[in-house]
Structure 1
Amino acid sequence: MCVDFYRLWPVYVSLLIALLSLLIPFATPEMASWAMGEIGLIERSTALFYVGTAVLASVAFARSAGMMRLHAGFWILLSIVCFGEETSWLQHEFGFATPSSIEARNVQGEFNFHNLEGFHGGKFLGEEVSSPALGALLSAQNLFQIGFGFFFLILPFAAQVPIFGSLLTYLRMPFPGRLIVSTVWPPITVTLLLAFFTEGQIKDLAAETRELFYAAAFLLFTGTLALTLRDPVAIERTMNAN
């Protein structure tokens, strides 16, 4: 099922945000430090977006049935995991100690999994020294970005191919439409380029901002899905569009 906006204004807002993102290199060290960090504005906002995603996916879950309910349940679980990893499972908020078994293997000494040795820094298996390119590809961050790119870019285009579109319809799998794709990618593209061409604190700020935009994409998609499932006519229209 194609999930999409019915108006163009989100695309225009996205383009404005992308333009504003070009100001990141002009951030002062004080501004960057205030925005970043484990309890900084960007991380807090990212975590809240994942909470919103879980809530909206739960609404979609309640309004759906069968295979569609399974897809909505996946988004609930995914957003909870992303929220947990973003906040180190609320360690940043409650300040509890990291278990020693995890602290010894976590590169930041935190209670999360994406910073564990073997998942952090571009290596999936500790002994994978002979194939560093593959190890870098299988880092936790890169696996997330590959999955994000597949769902929000490759899948919408693949759905236009009749055989793949028919498969998605059979599975009742919701996927983003053209306007959502056009809304999601401008700010992410800008921050990707900034992270590639800058160094130091500005590079980190661009990367943190990109993670915020990832979470915003989740929120937009699940919110649109929940709204679409509220309207039987809209469901029929989107199914026919496939």
Structure 2
Amino acid sequence: MIARTTSYRSSIVGILAGNLAAIAILAFFAVWYSISPGSFHYHCQEDHVVECLTAVFFLLASVGIAIAAWRHPSIRANKLRVVFVLCWVLILFIFAGEEMSWLQRQLGLETPQSIANINKQNEINLHNVKWVDEYFGGKYRWLSLLVLTSGVLLPLLGRVRPIRRVFNRAGLPVVPVHYVMFFLGGYLFGKMVHTEYTNDAAEIREFAFALGYLLFAAHASIIPNSMMQALESSNDNDVTPVNIELGDIS
């Protein structure tokens, strides 16, 4: 009983710490913009620090999830789990590439005419392709939909026991609730902070998303069982929450 109580308290502390960290980071950006909008805009432009860090975070998250899956034999032994993990790895890798237009400017690559004809910004990427933007709302709407589902909805649903059982059977990796505010807060930042240049708020939103996924991947990489730890549990009466506990790292 004492062990369960300690675990529960550790869970609450971890959840508060993770989400307060997200709020603090987003508040920092909001204060930065209010104090020095010019400096804020400069660092949010293409190929500057915010965008570069976002791309790196997405890439590291992709690699981290792959490493975590490799270190966890039960994932490799289950085809459905492998599919879920590969989807995560691929999606995050694509996000990283799209963020920097696949290093087109860094490598000095010319945009092929066939791509330039259909891309609104004459870049080598998918999210600025005209029909993608017209019919699917571009990368921001779909990124937000994916993020709000994977980073907010699924973690919260995973706290409900019957739904948790479904996740358990499917072997679905779920972002810990400790990091929900990186996703929800990032989305709200773009809605609440009205920057002079619209894209600046979008860059901060993506930065928060990428950092949230990186923390999820880091957790899973450091603790081999953590990505599927809750999914391995067979005791639905255990008070231990379904997601990874920050206290497990210490």
TM-score bracket for this pair, using the shorter chain length: 0.7 to 0.9
Partners in 1 of 2:231 and 2:167 — Cα distance? 15
- Give the residue type in structure 1 aligned to 2:105: H
TM-superposition CA deviations, 1:172-216 (whole Å, max 9, x none): 11112322224543354334311xxx2532x33222111111111
Partners in 1 of 2:173 and 2:127 — Cα distance? 27
TM-superposition CA deviations, 1:29-86 (whole Å, max 9, x none): 2x13421222111111111111211221121121132243332222211121111111
Q: Judge conservation of contact 1:51–1:79 (CA < 8 Å) in 2.
A: yes
**C-alpha displacement at 1:146, in angstroms?**
0.6
Q: Which residue of 2 aligns with 1:13?
A: 21
Partners in 1 of 2:232 and 2:47 — Cα distance? 40
Superposed, 1:149-228 pairs within 5 Å as: 149-182=148-181, 184-194=183-193, 198=194, 200-201=196-197, 203-228=198-223
Q: Which residue of 1 aligns with 2:238?
A: none
**C-alpha displacement at 1:5, in angstroms?**
9.5
**C-alpha displacement at 1:231, in angstroms?**
6.5
RMSD: 2.7
**C-alpha displacement at 1:15, in angstroms?**
2.5
Partners in 1 of 2:40 and 2:230 — Cα distance? 47
Partners in 1 of 2:131 and 2:115 — Cα distance? 13
Q: Compared with structure 1, are the counterparts of its residues 41 and 103 closer, same or farther at alpha carbon in structure 2 (3 Å cutoff)?
A: same
Q: Judge conservation of contact 1:155–1:175 (CA < 8 Å) in 2.
A: yes
Q: Which residue of 1 aligns with 2:58?
A: 50
In the alignment, is residue 26 of structure 1 matched against residue 35 of structure 2? yes
Size of the aligned set, in residue pairs, is 219
Partners in 2 of 1:236 and 1:176 — Cα distance? 11
In the alignment, is residue 101 of structure 1 matched against residue 114 of structure 2? yes
- Give the residue type in structure 1 aligned to 2:24: L
Partners in 2 of 1:182 and 1:106 — Cα distance? 33
Q: Judge conservation of contact 2:84–2:173 (CA < 8 Å) in 1.
A: yes
TM-superposition CA deviations, 1:123-146 (whole Å, max 9, x none): 21xxxxxxxxxx6xx433211111
**More helix as a share of residues:** 2
TM-superposition CA deviations, 1:155-183 (whole Å, max 9, x none): 12222344322211001111123222245
- Give the residue type in structure 1 aligned to 2:146: G
In the alignment, is residue 235 of structure 1 matched against residue 229 of structure 2? yes
- Give the residue type in structure 1 aligned to 2:61: T
Q: Which runs of 5+ in 1 are unaligned?
A: 125-134
TM-score by length of 1: 0.79
**C-alpha displacement at 1:10, in angstroms?**
2.8
- Give the residue type in structure 1 aligned to 2:17: W
Partners in 2 of 1:209 and 1:106 — Cα distance? 24
Q: Compared with structure 1, are the counterparts of its residues 27 and 207 closer, same or farther at alpha carbon in structure 2 (3 Å cutoff)?
A: farther
SS at match of 1:96: coil
TM-score by length of 2: 0.77
Q: Judge conservation of contact 2:182–2:211 (CA < 8 Å) in 1.
A: no
Q: Which segment is superposed worse, 212-221 or 181-190?
A: 181-190
Q: Which runs of 5+ in 2 are unaligned?
A: 1-10, 236-240, 243-250
Partners in 1 of 2:190 and 2:30 — Cα distance? 8
Q: Which residue of 2 aligns with 1:88?
A: 101
